[in-house]
Amino acid sequence: MTLVIGLTGSIATGKSTISNMLIDWSFPVIDADTISREVVQVGEEAYEQIVATFGRQVLQEDGSLNREALGNIVFQDESKRKKLNQIMHPKIRKRMLERRDQYVSNNVELVVMDIPLLFESDLFHYVDKVLVVYVDPDIQLDRLTKRDEISAEKALERINAQIPITEKKDLADTIVNNGGSIKESEDQLKDILNTWGIEV
């Protein structure tokens, strides 16, 4: 039996930091952000639909997607974000589930699905356990502005495009509180996996 863990959080709470630990321990991680980049490669169906919907203003000179330009549009306008989600989410979900099913049919012990919008997109049905990477909202804002070198205003646009991390915390099977040191988070993660019968 494969245990399927849904790893989530909100923007900049530390999902990648935690998923990198799992990758270092050789557990398979299926990353929604990586897949969201695959499905918009030039010539893919989602790419064509994005150009048809948002116009060539969201392309770079070489024709590839200008992520910053598209981000500036969709994080300022919920109806445009919904349009983008309608184009991309079914395709991201399909690829993620195909990869999950491959791991399950190979009977691996554990597979992790790293999905920022696990709750927003109702994807928690596809996993056995939900692990939320939590930090207090003030730390989230501080880390996001520093990591992406953006203003608090821009950071809040992105934060407010998701369910608040304080609410996700209550929906989780368990949380890693990533407000302390990386080592403290790693210790919490090891304990959680051990509780779920996975040796690290």
Ligand X SMILES: Nc1ncnc2c1ncn2[C@@H]1O[C@H](COP(=O)(O)OP(=O)(O)OP(=O)(O)O)[C@@H](O)[C@H]1O
Residue 14 assigned as binding residue: yes
> Which structure tokens are listed for 195?
């509780």
Residue 107 Rama label (left phi>0; alpha psi -120 to 50; beta) = left
Choosing among ligand X, ligand COD, none, which partner's interface includes residue 6 (Cβ < 5 to 8 Å by kind)? none
Residue 69 assigned as binding residue: no
Residue 15 assigned as binding residue: yes
Work out whether strand 3-9 and strand 174-177 pair parallel, antiparallel, or are unpaired. unpaired
CB of 10 to ligand COD, least distance (A): 7
Choosing among ligand COD, ligand X, none, which partner's interface includes residue 74 (Cβ < 5 to 8 Å by kind)? ligand COD
Nearer to ligand COD, 162 or 188 (CB): 162
Nearer to ligand COD, 93 or 190 (CB): 93
Residue 16 assigned as binding residue: yes
Paired strand residues for 113? 6, 30
Residues of this chain that interact with ligand COD (CB under 6 A) are 11, 32-33, 36, 67, 70-71, 74, 81, 84-85, 88, 92, 116-117, 158, 161-162
Residues of this chain that interact with ligand X (CB under 6 A) are 9, 11-17, 33, 116, 143, 147, 178, 181-182, 185
Nearer to ligand X, 104 or 186 (CB): 186
Nearer to ligand COD, 109 or 147 (CB): 147
Choosing among ligand X, ligand COD, none, which partner's interface includes residue 32 (Cβ < 5 to 8 Å by kind)? ligand COD
CB of 86 to ligand COD, least distance (A): 10
What are the binding residues for ATP? 12-17
